[in-house]
Structure formats: C-alpha cells, structure tokens
Structure 1
C-alpha cells in the first residue's frame, strides 16, 4: 500500500474507507463460499461425481444444512465437534431417492445364509449353500415353491462342492455350479465344477476350471458355459480371465475349457445376464477380505476394496462394449437380479465405503435397467438395506430372500445374516 503525507490524507480518506469496506465484504464472501464448499470433502465429491452420471438421469443433492456452517462461525461453541458438522457426513448418504414399495413378508428360509446362490426354474426357487455364520457354512439346497409360497424341499450338495461365492446358471433343467470358496471364514477356493439334474435330483462332475475363482461371473451363452472375472486364489486379486466350455443337456462336450476374450475389469460379486443374444456383466468390486497370514482357521482380514458401477456387454462381435453405468457403484449382486418386461431388475447390494468412517455401506434400492434405451432408474426401496439377496420373479411378484441386512434405518452398516423372504407386486 502507498504511503500518504499529512497534506493529502483528507483527500484520500474517503477513498481508503470505501476500498477497505469493499475488501472486507469481498473477503467475507470468499470465506463464506470456501466454508460452504468445504462441506463437500474431496472423497464426497469423488463419490458424487461417479453417481451423478450424465446418462443416468440422477442428481446428487448436497447436505443443505452444511451451508449454514458459515453463519455459525461467529457464534460461541462449547463443543469443538459442533464447529465442524460438515466433516461428519450422514451415515445414510448413500441412499438415493426412490418410491416406497408395499412389501409382504413370506415364510423365511429354513436357515439364514450369506454369500449363497440361487436359481429359479419356473415356479421353483433353488437356494444353495452360503454362510450360516462366519465360522459355519451350509452344504445343502433349499427349494421354495412360488405357486404355493412355501419351502418344499431340501437336499445335500456334493461333499467336494464349494460352500459360498459360487458361479451358478441354469438352462431350465440343469443347474451348473462353478468354483467358489470351500469352507468358512476366508478359506481357499476350489476349481471343481458340478451340474445338477433338477428332474432326476442327481449331481454330476464336470471338468474343473483352469484355475480356482471366488464368485466368478457365470452364464450360458450360445451353447457354451462362460466363466469370467472373480477373485484369484488369494481372494483379493481381481481375475480378468474368461473361459468357456461347450455344454448340452448337463454334460460337457469338451474336455478342456477354452480361453475367451478377457473381461475389461476383473473382480467378484457381479450380476451376469444373457438376454436377446447379448451377455451383460454389471457392477462388482476389486479386492475382498483375505485370510490372515498364519491363521490356522483362515480368519478373515479386511483389505482395501473398490466398488464400481461399470456395465459391460458382449454381442455377436465378441468385443466388450461399455454401457451406461449403474446409478451408483454396486457389488454383491450376483444372484440379486431378474428379467422383467425387457429390463433387468436388481435388488440391494453394497456400495462404496463411507468416506469418513470407512465402513461398508449396504444398498436399499431396487434398480431397473431398460434394455431398449440402455438407461437406469430407481423404482423402489427394499424393506431395509441388504446385500447378497437371492431374487426371483413369479406371477408379477418380485421376491428376495437371505443376505446380510443393515443395523437399522439410520445405520447402513451390515449386521445380521437373515433368511427372511419378502415380496412386492411390480407395476412396470
């Protein structure tokens, strides 16, 4: 700033006062803007930018209360935590606006299960394996009859078959069960592959995968059983490999699996669907829990995970195409989908971890992917947030059972493994 002599100070006093006032006002506006902007942490902005996709039709609405922080700055605050509410993001930040659905509770599954698998054949719903607790895994199949709305049967799986993280698919009679984790906690995977004849209730072995995988994306397409992605033998490293083998009437027509075009992004817990001669792979994650080094029981140890919203498609050109992503990142949806009116319906799952607490966040929405327009919408809410749902559709009713639900309406972290069955009438 220039110096002023006594002789000209009266000349510039008014100007100086005016400039000072303008500077103070400008500084206050900038401070207010910065405080309001600081309520959106870099982690939040990263997540929001992923969810507010241009083609998804969704807008992420910020926490309006955070903008009041600047107004409170001059107030005396007793508790330090009260001065930084913008850093304590709501634990329910992951929920998207969605209409309410009328859910009706049906007979619960005979056992609760997590990371199990399911296949629907007409009105029968076959529910496989899964964790009962982290230290106990199921090795049987329960069967639900949608026409009678009751559980009607139970039978054992082969002793050599995996107990969770299975790849499953059916041609309408035969159910193919591929690889997966053998045992509780975070034990290793198996490459063993089996097929179930649902009419004769008999199991048969098939050629094992070239390498074991956890939760690989699995489908029947053009006369071949396709298996891709998943996690590798250490349970954490994403697999990109894609294999196929020719099958017919529950039998392998080849002795070895054939290498196909690798999937663009590896990892487990994804939906894999075939419709109108197109193969879709939706959502998933990179990374997963691993066995703690040296643990005699293969105790699970937390590792970094990245959940994504990616959607890929294979068609007659046998080249992967990238489609509009899900409304938000979503994983643990491998058996959480059904096909209704030329669209894919997906229930629940897990999304990115809370940016502050780093806790897992469950998903409570029902998503619809419109195959004609290749666009997404949120069509409703589940009774609660839940992952690894096992989902079916019959006579206009959307059903889901099992999985791990949230801790309550205000806490989206996972807690209780359930066996509950719910249904709602869809009007699409």
Structure 2
C-alpha cells in the first residue's frame, strides 16, 4: 500500500464532547468508539460512559460506571469492556474492577485487584487481560504482573517485573509482552523488559537511551518501538527540557538504532498524540516552547526519510486521548488552559468519513 503524501491527510471536526474532558480512556468495540471516565473542568473524576455515533455525528450517553474514575486501564474482552483501577473521587488509587457488556448495555462488578492501583498498563492475550505495574496508595511503584480470566472472574499473579513502575508502555508481539519506560515517584525510568508468556520468564533488554517523560510511543508494523520527543531529564529537575529526538528499538535485532539512523521531528514537543497511520508516524499537538498548547502536526515519510508538516488540528491542545479506528486517528478532549471538548479526526482525503 502506497504511503499517502502530506497533502492527502485531512482533519475534520466532529461533534464536541458533552463537556471538557481529560484523563479519559478510549476503547473500540466492533469499530465503535467508547469514552470512559476522565476528569471534568473542576478536576473531579467522573463516571461517564459515552459512545460516539458517526452516523449522526453525535455522542450517546450510556449507563454510567458504578465508580467515578480517571486514568483507568481498559481492556476489551470480546464485546465487553473491562475497567481496572485508576484514580477515584478522593484522588486515591482504586482497586475496584467493573465490566460493561456492550450488547446488554449493563455494568457488573468483578473481582477487585489485590490492592488499589493507578497507572496500570493493560493488554489482552488469548482473551485474558494482562495488567502490568501501577502505583499504590503509598505512592510507590509496583512490580506486579497479573492476569484476569473473564470466565472464572479471577486475578492470578504471574512472575513480577524486575523493575517497579507505573504508566509503562506495553505492547504484545506474539507471545512476548514488552514493557518500556514508565515512572517511579514521578521520575522517568529507562528500564526495558520483556515477558515471555510461554516460559513465564522476564528478560532485561538494552535500556532506553535517555530518560524522557510525556513522550510519544509508537509501535510500527515492523515490530519496532519508536520513542518520540517528550521532556528529557538531566541530573536535576530544573534541567528538564523539550526534545524532538527519537529513539527506535528493533525487536528483530534486539538493539536500539544508532542516532544517525533516526530522524528527529521538526518540532520539540511533549504530551502530544502519537500514532502509526497509513504507514507513517504521526504526531499532533502537545506542549512545546510556545506559551500555549500546540496545534501543529507532522508525519514521517519512510521513503523520503523526513518529517513533513500536515495540516494543523483545528483545536490546539495537549493531554488528549487518541485512538486508531479503521485507519483513522481520532483525537478526543485534552487540555488547552482548561479541559477541552474538542473532537477531531485525521484521515486520508479520498475517504470521506461522514
């Protein structure tokens, strides 16, 4: 499939959210997008569950979650959405687990976590959810790896990670679960480890080349991990600075590419939307050296080996949630001074969305 040129990408504004939202979680079931929880303009976690309907370009309110939460980990198990942990109304981590059946339109409580956790990373393998790490009520990161069996409604402990962390980036390739980066007590970590599901063992991989937080993370179709931009941290907190640098790990070779083999982004940015779309790495919005949130967008052309500017987003923002559905990038909510209700989609022009 040919890689689209920069001028073929097009932004379209869609129906705005019912209210400004940040730290919400997006999920796809059967090609439809669901938005769960998040914080409102007052910073309160909310219980909302909304479905976006492209047919009428509108948001449909569904039965609310039994528990208000923000930053929840979400896994799709068949036609059910499993919601795990996150931050509750008292700003503390949650142990409660709930599941929404999209066919029945009903919520059910499920077996709780062993302890309250926020910042869990979750993925699905063979119909089971794998939940990695998290931060407890004592604000310390965890090494925990746990697996949820929907049929038995049981959480089982698997061998723990070598490195405790929360907000890690996880990705499943075959029988291997990769866990990259994350944080410990607000500090970024460079640890990079992989869990072999068949042998139930952890292997330590070459560490990430630099400490960065609020960067973009993209796994491309060649099985490469791409770390983009973010805030690079030196010795002291004062030396944190925006970067446009990129690090790429090749899982086939088991090594990080040399810096001369990677191409830096055009713009230094952090806390932006990042995705692999139609064969191109795409970054949108975020924070940079401008006084307000960015609206700029760029995409990497793998054949020309350069970043190219795309049309900007209509609404500048950072901390947006994003998801790829049917080769289209949806960027939902976020922050621009206050929580944003903006909702827009990036797609290739020939493919009219609505």
TM-score range, shorter chain: 0.5 to 0.7
**Aligned residue number for residue 14 of structure 2:** 103
Q: Distance in 2 between matches of 1:375 and 1:143?
A: 43
**How far, CA to CA, are the matches of 2:285 and 2:82 in structure 1?**
20
Q: Which residue of 2 aligns with 1:5?
A: none
TM-score (norm 1): 0.54
How far, CA to CA, are the matches of 1:273 and 1:241 in structure 2? Answer: 17
Superposed displacement of residue 311, structure 1: 1.7
Q: What is aligned with 1:368?
A: 299
Label 1:126 to 1:104 Cα distance change in 2 as closer, same or farther (>3 A).
Answer: farther
- The residue aligned with 2:226 is 280
- 1:205 matched residue in structure 2: 157
Larger radius of gyration: 1
User: What is aligned with 1:325?
Assistant: 264
Residue number in structure 2 paired with 1:410: none
Shift of 1:122: 9.0
Distance in 1 between the 2:329 and 2:137 partners? 31
Q: Distance in 2 between matches of 1:207 and 1:153?
A: 31
Structure 1 314/381 Cα, relative in aligned 2: closer, same or farther at 3 Å? same
Unmatched runs of 5 consecutive residues or more in structure 1: 1-97, 291-301, 355-360, 408-414
- Does residue 245 of structure 1 match 2:195? yes
In structure 2, do the counterparts of structure 1 residues 287 and 192 end up closer, same or farther at CA, with 3 Å as the change threshold?
farther
Matched, 1:258 2:203: yes
Report the equivalent of 1:220: 172
Cα distance, 1:320 vs. partner? 0.8
Identify the match of residue 135 of structure 1 among 88, 91, 97.
91
Is residue 211–residue 233 contact of structure 2 (8 Å, CA) maintained in 1?
no
Pairing of 1:56-67 with structure 2 (within 5 A) = none
Give the corresponding residue for 1:235.
Answer: 186
The alignment status of 1:190 with 2:146, answered yes or no, reads no
Deviations 1:23-67, CA, capped at 9 Å, x for gaps: xxxxxxxxxxxxxxxxxxxxxxxxxxxxxxxxxxxxxxxxxxxxx
> Contact 2:11 / 2:344 at 8 angstroms: preserved in 1?
no
Q: Deviations over 1:240-296 (max 9, x none)?
A: 222212015xxxx324x22211111123333141422322222333359x9xxxxxx
Q: Any conservation in 2 of the 1:196–1:202 contact (CA below 8 Å)? A: yes
Q: For each residue in 1:148-177, what CA deviation from the matched residue of structure 2 results, as whole angstroms up to 9, or x when unmatched?
A: 9xx87575662525312x434445744433
Question: In 2, Cα distance between the equivalents of 1:282 and 1:377?
Answer: 15
- What's the C-alpha RMSD, in Å, of the aligned pairs? 4.2
- Could you tell me how far 1:206 is from its partner in structure 2? 2.3
Q: 1:324 to 1:115 in 2, by over 3 A?
A: farther
1:426 aligned counterpart, secondary structure: strand
- How far did 1:328 drift? 1.9
Partner residue, 2:243: 308
The structure with more helix, counted as a fraction of residues:
1
Instruction: Tell me what 2:343 maps to.
Output: 422
In the alignment, the residues of structure 2 paired with residue 199 and residue 366 of structure 1 have an alpha-carbon distance, to the nearest angstrom, of: 43
Worse overlay, 309-318 or 381-390: 381-390
Q: Distance in 1 between matches of 2:76 and 2:310?
A: 22
Aligned 1:79-90 pairs, distance under 5 A = none
Q: Distance in 2 between matches of 1:161 and 1:395?
A: 35
Among candidates 320, 331, 351, match of residue 400 of structure 1? 331
